[in-house]
Structures are given as structure tokens and as C-alpha cells.
Chain A
């Protein structure tokens, strides 16, 4: 079984839960205190797939709705993108779509998944289901909860399976 290392960038507006998703995925922890990310933080996680093992180097990039020149440098070498939106704030879905366009413009058509996070706060969701049905046609989409862990593992595995 071969091992490969792949760089993955987490992109999304501020406060959507990128850091919490990484914490849930990598160390199975969650903190309900919001602590903003400045710059970038990296973490790694080994994914066992049937054919190979993939070591994901996760770049948790500070939340923005647009990436400036410095942040674009972070993307170099990425083979996958985890786009994150917050289901309780509909505009963050638009930000995720915009960031994906910007990132692909910089590094090409790399694999991507979309995580619509905070499904534990489902009764406050603002995103219409039809909007997600539409987006699901273009890329794998998961309703996730960093708090409960719902669909987090599945989402990262789905991305790992799509990596070169």
C-alpha cells in the first residue's frame, strides 16, 4: 500500500467553523469558544483508503470572503480544497463559491468538497435546500457539524478519494 502526502486548503468566510472542523477531524475535539485564526495553521491526518494511505496536510487559512495576494501564496502546492460555509449565515455560501472560483483561478481545477457546517443549529439554518441541491450537482456537498462530528469524517474521506 503506497503512502502519499497531499496538501489541502480549508477556505471559507470567518466564523464558519474551519478550525473547529479540523480539530474535530484531526483530534476529535471541539471547543465552543470562538477564537479567530490569524494567518494559517497546519495540521496533518492520515486517511486509510482501500488502495492507498493519504497523508493530508491541512492548511487552515484565516477566514476571508476574498483572498489577497499573500493568502494566495498559501494555496500553492494544494491538490484539494475544503470549502466551508455556515448554514446559519446564508451569505457565507456565496463567499465559499467566490473563494472557490478565486482559488481555482490561482491553482487550477483541483478537487474540492463543500461543507455546510453547523448542522447542529439546524433550526436556525438560512440556506434553502434547493440551493444545496443545485450546488451538489457541481461538487460533493456535506451538511456537517463540528460540534457533533456529523459527516465530518465522510467529507474529508470523500475529498481524499478524489485526490490525484
Chain B
């Protein structure tokens, strides 16, 4: 071990640097090595070639002042060597002084490693906690929705059960009367007609039940169609025919067509909602029920005036919310509840009023639907083109064929960097990603979005893991892989999210 240069020793004393193992490399102004001194083996500097040291320290001191006073702390020199590096100027020379801080670095590393791992663990735990909270919220929302659906289904079932029982009893009575009559009896024809009506009534009950079940399971038929007021009126009469057989009840239904515009609504909505209204009103009516069915160009309305106020809509809702059994009059309760829920689903309003004579009035308003600009009120306005990222040729061909029927061109791509670049340079207004066959689809969608892609990114299928916020911000919508063309087009045209 050779002694450190005087200038270096003076520097160490002047700076009061604690006694550490030290080595020094002395360079001229052009970074040519002039000498080595100190504990060179500590830093593996004894065997290194001059040229290597000159290159290494020239690069290390790039941009640093050669006038002295420069300190670079805790440099990792490789092979387990750590040094604080000081530059000490002496005339035209510069001494690069290396002070061994390996032990201090290892101590700090140990402390720092523990601290940072603890921070990472804490962050990860925080994330898991957030995920759990989010999952809990989702599960609770799903549970509430399922509960509401189950309750609604149960209520509808009870209502339909009541109706069906009534109708079946009527069928049985008619059949018995029919069988009791001799073949040539004149009343047989009337009884046969009654039986036919009752069977038809039962069939409508069955259809209503099927429609209700379809709604509960999410298969909502939202086709908009034109509704004729007189036809609607006939449907409503037929739907409450069983109740009108009671001798004390009758119904007079007037029509008021106040606008020449055709009434357009979701198919079956008006019939269903107004049926509930009439059913409820008739159940609590002890005489004649006066009803008016009108269309004013904006709203289809049914107004029912009755003389009874046995149970109000508010009360039925209260019973429902508190999940109390409808002991007094289940059919009426369920009819009123069905009315409220159905009207709400179709953006309708239900008002209960009392007129000056103390008569009860129920007024239901349903907004009509406007005609779409394309002329076809069911076809969305999206015209494409669309890109499909997919690894399943058969599935892709299906979509090509289906979209071709609407004149929408579909281009096929794979989930690779070349496709990403091509799509980035020439982006279509919408891209579909088949999550099942294109493994890199979510990452590709994310990268497109992160490059400012403004169009619609639509996932077909399920992610297979909980969706993070970043993924939620990537997708415009998600649809089942086997969604219908109609569902797809509606989503692409922005008329319904997923």
C-alpha cells in the first residue's frame, strides 16, 4: 500500500473526514492516469489496466467540476465495492479519492430494504382493501337488484296466480254448465263462447307471465311499435273481462285521440301498465268505473275515476318497501305495486287525486317515443366501419356477415404490435375486442386509449379478473360474446351502455 498524495491527506484532514480505508487515482488534465495510491485492493483497483481506469473515471466524472469540492456519495463500483468519491484538485492534476463506505452502505441497504418492502406491502394491502370494498359494493348492489327482482317476480307471480285461478275457475264453471246442457239446447252456443273467452283470457295470463319472467331475467323486449288507441282499448277490456263479470262492477272506457300523430311506444308497455291500473281500479270499485284513454301527441294517458279509496298507491308501496304481507287484499296491493314499477320502468308517472265530489282519480301518463331520423325507429344510426380484434376465424366471419347485412364494413386484426400501430395510424370509429380468442386484447385496448384513441372500444366477453379503474376507463362498453347484432348496434350508436 503506497501513501496517499500529500494534497489528498491535507484534504482529508481539512474536511475532517472520518478515517476510512481510502485509495486515490491521480489524473492529468486529459484524464491520463499518473499514479495510484492507498488501499487499492479494497476497490479492486490494483489489477485494473490504466486504459480501463482512465475510461471508467472519465465517464464517471463527466460534467463534474475538476476544481475540487465535488463529492459523489455511495457509488456502487461493482463486485461489492462501494465508495464515496471526492475530487481533489492539485495544480493541473485531479486526484479521485475513493473512501470505502461498503459497511455503511450495507447497513443502509438493510434498513432501506425493510422500510421500502414495508411500504410496498402496505400499499398492496391498501389496494386489496380498496378492491374488497369495491367488490362488497358490487355484491351488495347485485344482491339488492336480485332481491328486488325476486320480490317483483314473486309479486307478479301472486298477481298472475290470482288471475289465473279466477280464469281457470271460470273455465271450469263454463265447462260444467256446458256439459250439463243437452246438445240441442240454445244456451250451449253462449256457454261455448264464454268458455272460448275464458280460455283466451287464460292464454293472455300465460303470455303476461312469460313476459314478466323474461323481464326479470333481463331479456327485455324494447322494440318500439305503433299503437292504435282502439286496439289498445280492446286489449284492455279483454284483460279485465274476468273482473267485469261481477254483477256490481262495470267499466266505461272512452277514447280521446287529441293528436293526429301516431302513438309509438315500447311494445306492450301501454297495455301492461294500463292493465294494472284498470285491474287495481276495478278491484276497489263498487260500481261503474269511468275511464278515459287519451293520446295528446306527447303522452298516452289513462284516467280512472272511481268511488272507492280502500287502498292507495302510496300505501301499497309502503307495504312493499317494508316487505309486509298484503293480508287485506293481496291482488289489489300487487296490482298497484305492479303499476308503479312498470310505469317507472317506462318513464311514466302515476298520480292519485281526489276530485271535489270525493271521488278517487288515478292518472297514468306514459311518454310516447319519437320516430328515429333514419325512418326505422328500431335501427341505430351507426354506419361504421368497425375493426374486430379476434383470433377466432369462425367467430369473426359471423360478425362480418351480420354487419354486412347493415352495410357496415368490418376489418379484422390480431392483437400484436403491428396491428396496434396500424390501428393507431388509421383508426376506425369503433373497435371490437374478442376477449376469448385474442389474449392481448385488453392490453392493446389500453395502449390505444393511452395513445389518445377517441373512438369506441367495445369488449366482447368477460375479462376473467376484477376490472381495475384503468380498465374501466379503457372500455366504452362490454357486451356478452354472444350478443345480438341489435345489441351491438345499439351500443355502437351510443344508445345503451353495458
Given contacts A41-B76, A57-B62, are A128 and B113 in contact (CB under 8 A)?
no
Contacts of B449 in A (CB 8 A): 129-130, 133
Q: Does B373 contact A (CB under 8 A)?
A: no
Among B62, B82, B465, B469, the residue within 8 A (CB) of A126 is B469
Within 8 A of B (CB), among A41-94: 41-42, 44, 57, 62-63, 70, 73-74, 76-78, 87, 89
Among B64, B74, B465, B473, the residue within 8 A (CB) of A76 is B64
B297 to chain A, nearest CB (A): 43
Q: Does A23 contact B (CB under 8 A)?
A: no
3 cross-chain pairs, A with B, having the tightest CB-CB distances, nearest first: A77-B63, A39-B74, A129-B449
Q: Does A104 contact B (CB under 8 A)?
A: no
Q: How many residues of A contact B (CB 8 A)?
A: 40
Encode contact with B along A22-49: 1 for CB under 8 Å, 0 otherwise.
0000000000001111111110100000
Q: Does B109 contact A (CB under 8 A)?
A: yes
Please state if A15 and B116 are interface contacts (CB–CB under 8 Å).
yes
Contacts of A7 in B (CB 8 A): 59, 62-63
Complex Cα gap A19–B59 (Å)? 19
A118 to chain B, nearest CB (A): 12
Q: Does B222 contact A (CB under 8 A)?
A: no
Encode contact with A along B59-81: 1 for CB under 8 Å, 0 otherwise.
11011100000111111101000
Closest B residue to A37 using CB positions? B76
Q: Does B132 contact A (CB under 8 A)?
A: no
Encode contact with B along A117-147: 1 for CB under 8 Å, 0 otherwise.
0010011111111101100100001010000
Among A5, A36, A136, the residue within 8 A (CB) of B452 is A136
Encode contact with A along B449-479: 1 for CB under 8 Å, 0 otherwise.
1111000000000010100111101100000
Contacts of B119 in A (CB 8 A): 14-15
Please state if A77 and B62 are interface contacts (CB–CB under 8 Å).
yes
Given pairs A57-B60, A126-B470, A129-B447, 17 additional interface contacts (CB within 8 A): A5-B59, A14-B116, A34-B113, A38-B76, A38-B108, A39-B74, A41-B76, A41-B78, A42-B75, A42-B76, A63-B116, A70-B73, A122-B446, A123-B468, A127-B470, A130-B449, A130-B450
Among B71, B116, B442, B468, the residue within 8 A (CB) of A124 is B468
Closest B residue to A43 using CB positions? B78
Contacts of B72 in A (CB 8 A): 40, 73-74
Which residues of A line the B interface, CB within 8 A?
A: 5, 7, 14-15, 34-42, 44, 57, 62-63, 70, 73-74, 76-78, 87, 89, 119, 122-130, 132-133, 136, 141, 143
Please state if A136 and B451 are interface contacts (CB–CB under 8 Å).
yes
Among A89, A130, A136, the residue within 8 A (CB) of B123 is A89
Q: Does B150 contact A (CB under 8 A)?
A: no
Complex Cα gap A78–B63 (Å)? 7
Complex Cα gap A40–B72 (Å)? 9
Closest A residue to B65 using CB positions? A76
A70 to chain B, nearest CB (A): 5
Complex Cα gap A67–B72 (Å)? 14
Q: Does B232 contact A (CB under 8 A)?
A: no
Closest B residue to A76 using CB positions? B63
**Max chain B C-beta neighbours (<10 A), residue from A34, A87, A129, A133:** A129
Contacts of B248 in A (CB 8 A): none
Closest B residue to A77 using CB positions? B63
Complex Cα gap A124–B470 (Å)? 9
Please state if A5 and B62 are interface contacts (CB–CB under 8 Å).
yes
Complex Cα gap A122–B446 (Å)? 9
Complex Cα gap A123–B442 (Å)? 9
A38 to chain B, nearest CB (A): 5
Contacts of A74 in B (CB 8 A): 72
Please state if A129 and B123 are interface contacts (CB–CB under 8 Å).
no
